[in-house]
Amino acid sequence: MKFIKTKLGGLYIIEPELIIDDRGYFMRTFCEKELKINHLEFSILQTNQTLTKEKGTIRGMHFQKSPKAEDKIVQCLRGAIYDVAIDLRIGSPTYGNWVAEELNESNKKMLLIPKGFAHGFQTLTKNCEIQYFMSEYYEPKYASGVNWSDIMFNIKWPIKKPILSERDKNWPFIKK
């Protein structure tokens, strides 16, 4: 596995190394030993999977508040997504900055998103399946988010006029 640093501290793109033969391929999607070699701590407490049926759908921008803040590793198993992480760590020199990466079934890339980041994605194809490895259990009373269209972040979503849930339409805007 290759851990590629992004411009936001603690946020990594993970490129798995595929072993390919005439049967298909083999790859690791999680290896605690390789994380530790790269000075990263991550314990899986929960695994989630979503199916998003329609192209252009945005799910996000979500996070859990402390004391249930979570690290997550996100992978697109089927289809393609524009995956976005926003640094919301108070005092961080990159507070309010974001990184986006296309994750898809062909490139097999993953995004390791640390505590203190909001996360969301937009589907680039129909029927996208996403898998999440979580370092914390989901606790509804700590679930939160920020608005996907907040001008403070000015995220360049690839598909205009997205499909959104009522909850995701109504996350608050950040006040400066």
Question: Which residues, at least 6 apart from 140, have a Cβ–Cβ distance to it below 8 Å?
Answer: none
Q: Is the pTM of this model over 0.75?
A: yes
- Write out pLDDT tens, residues 14-47: 999 999 999 999 999 999 999 999 999 999 999 9
Question: Which residues, at least 6 apart from 21, have a Cβ–Cβ distance to it below 8 Å?
Answer: none
Per-residue pLDDT, 175: 73
Please name the CATH architecture into which domain 2-169 falls: Sandwich (2.60)
Place 176 in a pLDDT band, splitting at 50, 70 and 90.
Answer: low
Rounded CA-CA distance 172/168 in Å is 9
Q: Which of 12, 62, 82, 119 is catalytic?
A: 62
Q: Which of 12, 82, 119, 132 is catalytic?
A: 132
Per-residue pLDDT, 75: 98
Q: Which amino acid does the sequence have at 150?
A: D
Rounded CA-CA distance 87/73 in Å is 15
Strands 72-78 and 2-5: unpaired
- Write out pLDDT tens, residues 3-17: 999 999 999 999 999
The question of whether 132 is a catalytic residue gets the answer: yes
Rounded CA-CA distance 122/52 in Å is 10
Rounded CA-CA distance 120/4 in Å is 20
The question of whether 39 is a catalytic residue gets the answer: no
- Write out pLDDT tens, residues 55-80: 999 999 999 999 999 999 999 999 99
- Write out pLDDT tens, residues 125-164: 999 999 999 999 999 999 999 999 999 999 999 999 999 9
Q: Which amino acid does the sequence have at 78?
A: R
